[in-house]
Structure 1
Amino acid sequence: MTSPDPVLTTPRPEPVDTLDRATVAARTRETLALLRRLRRAHLREQAGSAAFAAYATAIGLLVYGGALLPWLRRLSAGQQQTTDAAVLGAAAPPALIALTLLLFVAVLRDALWRGPVTVPVPAASWLLPLPIDRGRILRPRLRNQLVIGAVGGAVLGVAVAVALTTGGLAVGRFGPLLGASAGGFAAAGVLSFGVSALVERYQRAARLVRLLAPVAVLVAVALGVQAGLAAYGHDLPVLVRVETWTGPWGWAVQPVLAVTGPVVPGWPVGFALLVVAALAAAVVAMVVCPGVSGRTLRIRARSVAGFTAGLTTLNPRAAALEIRAARSRPARTLRLPRPHHPRLIIPWRDATALVRSPSRPAWAVLLTAVGFLLIRLSTGAANLYLSLALLAAGLVAGYLAAAQLTEPARLDADDPRRAGSLPYAFDRLALRHVVVPLVVAGVLAEVCAVVAVALTGSVTALLVPVICVPALVFAALVSAYRGPVPAAAMNGPDTPAGNLGMVTVVAWYVAGPLVAVVLLLPPMHLTLGAHAPGSVLNYVLWGLAVAAILAFWSVRRAHNRANDIHP
């Protein structure tokens, strides 16, 4: 009888608190040495891949970097100006503060489900319960994330410096602007990743991020509006100076402003505060990261694995559900009054779901406003192509707003068994899911249309929701019932240009909104420029016909989805 392999047998973990430091350190060294021996071949493979990536990067820099040198010289000399420097100089400060604030929010929101400290599933399940020094495993991963934050921030700073210099700011001072922008955004990146480690470690910090993130997004939107007003001559320099001192998102912008023109008094102090805060956050994060609970790391490891699997199988819906499950919070118990008529059960359930998830109606409001703003800008575009591009972007924003409101239909499409006890056929149930999105989206669009009429005096804006809202809502319903991409679509047909599998996959996911936008572009463009009321009626009928086509398509997709689950 052979003895069990000591590598495959996992010892019962002993509480680390009962062991002295010398024992823990010795077991940590033994465990990590064993892992290095077991993973030697894999580490060699990783080193080869890293060396090849470095080689490819170096070749790309040598080939394309040489061609960029003359362009950078002209850029530094101020010969690439493409916009009005005065307009850009007025709009850039609030826009940069908004950009930095949104990046902070994105990193901290990411810490609610993934990082910055994440380990693979085997390490979370087998390695972390052992009586070893957890810091030896977690601190290197956090250090890598801090380096990524610094490098990513520096790259963003370079992009900002190039954009500002191209616009005509800091003519002849590209070098100082490059250093100031890269340094400020690199420090902001380190600070954001350091604070995100605290969010992962402490539940109270995570709750604070959930509470303040929507407020920060609204502040960023307000800063974007301020930047737009500044571009039209309504700038407020005093307000900008106050905003640059409101936090790290403003401190990171101060060096850039010191080079581009509107110097903030005392900006070296603000930059020093940013650097000190970044270093302090990095040190504190390195100290507290070993205290992340094993349960938290196991949940995050499984979430990252599920998210990666969803992306690998070209199923973004599954990846999004993994993120939502990892960010889950206690469910709200809000409930609307129950209807007295059985036909209102589905709309009541959909409305209750949206009330319990207020972020979705909030995003619908924001996206609807953005869509109407883009549609309004399309009427004053310089040429036809720009007008159509802005109009298409506005319709896409309207589709995304409708998609936020059709989430209850997506939940039924994910698992048709949820609706198994209802006295409706699954394909007919899709049409009942459209009531609440259609009403809410129509009300939001009409409110924006009334505001547009008050600002422009053109009553044709009132007909815009009638033309596009029904079609966009049904396009969102088509996407809700599309299901995962079929295996046949992944293969794709072979052509002289190569396999078209990726094209068919993209077409599977964007088919609904693409059809809606393409068919709505002509009547929307003609309506916004029409002066004869009789012709506008034809455009309204065209929009309703597009909605009817998409409604039939959504029913067919719901029928096919039910057959896929229960053939």
Structure 2
Amino acid sequence: MSTTTRHTADQAGNDGADGDLDDGRDASWDEEDDWTAEALLLLRNLRSPHRRKRAGQVGFAVYCVLLILVVWGVLPGFSLFIKSSMGADYTVHGAAILAAVPSGVCALALGALLVAARDALWRGPVVPPRDTADWLLTQPVRISRILLPWFWLSCAVSLSVGLLASVIGMVTLGLTVKTGLAAALAWCAVGGVCVPLLATALAVAVEAHESVARWVRTATPYAGLLVLALATQSGLAAAGHRVTWLERIELWSGPWGWSGIAALSPTPAAVPGGPVAALLSLAATAAAVELARRAAGALPLATVRQRSRTTTGVLAALQTVELRTARQVAAGASGTPRPARLQLPAPRHAALAVPWRDALALIHAPGRLGRSVLLSVLAVLSAVVAADSRHAGGVAATVAALVFGYWAVAQLLEPARLETDDTRRGSWSPYPYGGLMLRHTIVPVALGLVFALVAGVCVVLLGGGVRVALAPAVVPAFVAAGLVNACRGVSKQHLLLSPAQSPTGSVGPVLFLAWYLSGPLVAIAALTVPFVLSLHAPTAEHLLLTVCVSAAVTAGLLQWAYARAGKLLA
């Protein structure tokens, strides 16, 4: 292979992103320059010693997935149908499920599209391995021959997930509405096939066009709010508060709603136009997949190489259980957000330097504030459900409310986590390192109390009464728990290899998770019982107990965080 030919291939591969070249090559490309078959044959021969090992790994992964599906899906499904044949009545839930389907399916479909688009900002559906991106694509080969198999693989994986969701829908409709299983599977498969393929096609568009990627970054907060609103509407509809005219608009608004129309077609709640919606969904999916196929075969090589290297970095971080590193690598490849227009004046007192830096950092990362607000809403909704539930359901809803509450507050502690990523960042500070970390709690506590005040207003409007005191009482404890996690230091991978055993196997992963999530686990475990009592019986004694427990947990966790921070410099 001559140097001129190689240069022509590289130049043509880089110019193929402009769209005016055939298959990523310029006019000088002819059959004599096409070494695709030879390169693939050479690669196949080089990889032959490892092919059997790779096939074994893939086969084992498929076996594990199938085993999990059988144990946790097929067998419980069969048992439910057996109980139904023996007289168990699941139709009492049919009306609520049918009421929740319209907005619920829209929420799931839009959520799938949003997740696929966000994933494509740093990875995407067309990502060959790094050796292929760095070596094979630099050779004089047809780019589409290399990239299209990865596109079809992504389509197959997403399609398998969609078909699994279709089977779940079939079982649900068969048990609760007594719909024929064949009809339920066929109509649910419309959404199970179309939505995953549309999501893959959208991801290819994000990967291929920077303008689409910018649009996704801009639309993500609004799309997330819409998904949350649809999920809330679905829950309210299941509880008996339906807005039928709004549901019809949502169902006919696009492919995310057409799947819901198809799923309702074999049920008593069928919406007129089911076959039309199915045909529209299939036609839109076919067109989108064809456009995505064309785009996937001519992706810019620079984009492919960058995403391949990013994926390799994320996988390497995950294999070494460096979860924060993996998140940072993925976030760094997702693009730089727009700079914030709002600026804060410099503080006049030295004591305000750390809160000023933290507030400025959060202003320049508005996504974290948005996620904190959304998670706070989920925490309030879970608390409302817990207040109206009893026994195990009430405890589960209370734990969910506490988890969402901690997750919301943890979004505000990113400046503290950045400080501990590199302890040299705090070399400017005149404070001891532990004292510096404690000062990083000021802004999260202040913002958390603001969110708690808003949540308290909502609780009062919902008739929660004195339960309004629970939200501000828990904020300091969750901030302290987040600070404990921020100061945990280097990953203790040796815990995964612990020789300790249990009847179910090694306890190493459990020990690692207990260390990794030590702060929130302690806070949630200590606050669950007081919160259950206060939500179900909001007496003065229970509220006082909750406040006292929260104060004690906050003090203990802050002392723990201070000690951990001191060890970071040791």
Both structures adopt the same fold (TM-score exceeding 0.5) = yes
The separation in 2 between residues aligned to 1:293 and 1:265, in whole angstroms, is 45
Name which of structure 1's ranges 351-360 and 520-529 shifts more when overlaid on structure 2.
Answer: 520-529
- What does residue 15 of structure 2 align with? none
In the TM superposition, what is the alpha-carbon distance from 1:356 to its structure 2 partner?
A: 1.0
The separation in 1 between residues aligned to 2:135 and 2:112, in whole angstroms, is 34
- What does residue 363 of structure 2 align with? 355
- What does residue 309 of structure 1 align with? 316
1:134-178 Cα shifts (integer Å, max 9, x gaps): 111001110111122222211111112223433x12x14222111
Q: Does 1:108 align with 2:81?
A: no
- What does residue 153 of structure 2 align with? 144
- What does residue 396 of structure 1 align with? 403
The separation in 1 between residues aligned to 2:330 and 2:319, in whole angstroms, is 15
Give 5+ residue unaligned stretches, structure 1: 1-5
Name which of structure 1's ranges 272-281 and 323-332 shifts more when overlaid on structure 2.
Answer: 323-332
Q: How does 1:2-21 map to 2 (within 5 A)?
A: 14-16=10-12, 17=26, 19-21=28-30
- What does residue 481 of structure 1 align with? 487
1:510-556 Cα shifts (integer Å, max 9, x gaps): 21111001111233233335565366434322211110101111112
Q: Does 1:551 align with 2:553?
A: no
The separation in 1 between residues aligned to 2:76 and 2:535, in whole angstroms, is 44
Name the SS for the 1:338 alignment partner: coil
For the 8 Å contact 1:14–1:131, the answer to whether it is kept is yes
Q: How does 1:278-427 map to 2 (within 5 A)?
A: 278-330=285-337, 332-334=339-341, 335-383=343-391, 385-427=392-434
- What does residue 31 of structure 1 align with? 39
In the TM superposition, what is the alpha-carbon distance from 1:65 to its structure 2 partner?
A: 5.9
Name which of structure 1's ranges 196-205 and 291-300 shifts more when overlaid on structure 2.
Answer: 291-300
Q: 1:223 to 1:534 in 2, by over 3 A?
A: closer
Q: How does 1:499-518 map to 2 (within 5 A)?
A: 499-518=506-525
In the TM superposition, what is the alpha-carbon distance from 1:35 to its structure 2 partner?
A: 0.8
In the TM superposition, what is the alpha-carbon distance from 1:354 to its structure 2 partner?
A: 0.9
In the TM superposition, what is the alpha-carbon distance from 1:55 to its structure 2 partner?
A: 7.0
The separation in 2 between residues aligned to 1:337 and 1:96, in whole angstroms, is 46
Q: How does 1:76-115 map to 2 (within 5 A)?
A: 81=90, 83-115=92-124
In the TM superposition, what is the alpha-carbon distance from 1:475 to its structure 2 partner?
A: 0.5
Matched residue type, 1:328: G
In the TM superposition, what is the alpha-carbon distance from 1:23 to its structure 2 partner?
A: 2.4
Q: Does 1:158 align with 2:154?
A: no
The separation in 2 between residues aligned to 1:222 and 1:504, in whole angstroms, is 37
Q: 1:302 to 1:77 in 2, by over 3 A?
A: farther
The separation in 2 between residues aligned to 1:69 and 1:534, in whole angstroms, is 48
Q: 1:468 aligns with which of 463, 470, 474?
A: 474
The separation in 1 between residues aligned to 2:340 and 2:364, in whole angstroms, is 7
TM-score computed with the length of structure 1 as normaliser: 0.90
Q: 1:462 to 1:44 in 2, by over 3 A?
A: closer
Q: 1:266 to 1:517 in 2, by over 3 A?
A: same
- Identity score, percent: 35
In the TM superposition, what is the alpha-carbon distance from 1:261 to its structure 2 partner?
A: 2.4
Give 5+ residue unaligned stretches, structure 2: 13-25
CA RMSD of aligned residues (A): 2.6
1:75-109 Cα shifts (integer Å, max 9, x gaps): 69995516432222212221111111101111111
Q: 1:80 to 1:106 in 2, by over 3 A?
A: farther
Matched residue type, 1:32: L
- What does residue 3 of structure 1 align with? none
For the 8 Å contact 1:493–1:501, the answer to whether it is kept is yes
Q: 1:403 to 1:65 in 2, by over 3 A?
A: closer
Q: 1:110 to 1:555 in 2, by over 3 A?
A: same
Name the SS for the 2:266 alignment partner: helix
Name which of structure 1's ranges 357-366 and 154-163 shifts more when overlaid on structure 2.
Answer: 154-163
TM-score computed with the length of structure 2 as normaliser: 0.90
- What does residue 440 of structure 1 align with? 447
Matched residue type, 1:93: P
1:452-496 Cα shifts (integer Å, max 9, x gaps): 1232151x2232134211101110111122134213322224236
In the TM superposition, what is the alpha-carbon distance from 1:351 to its structure 2 partner?
A: 0.7
Matched residue type, 1:299: Q
Q: 2:48 aligns with which of 12, 23, 40?
A: 40
The separation in 1 between residues aligned to 2:169 and 2:496, in whole angstroms, is 38
The separation in 1 between residues aligned to 2:352 and 2:408, in whole angstroms, is 23
Name the SS for the 2:428 alignment partner: coil
For the 8 Å contact 1:201–1:288, the answer to whether it is kept is yes
Name which of structure 1's ranges 264-273 and 44-53 shifts more when overlaid on structure 2.
Answer: 44-53
Name which of structure 1's ranges 553-562 and 319-328 shifts more when overlaid on structure 2.
Answer: 553-562
- What does residue 183 of structure 2 align with? 176
Name which of structure 1's ranges 114-123 and 486-495 shifts more when overlaid on structure 2.
Answer: 486-495
The separation in 1 between residues aligned to 2:287 and 2:389, in whole angstroms, is 48
Q: 1:60 to 1:111 in 2, by over 3 A?
A: closer
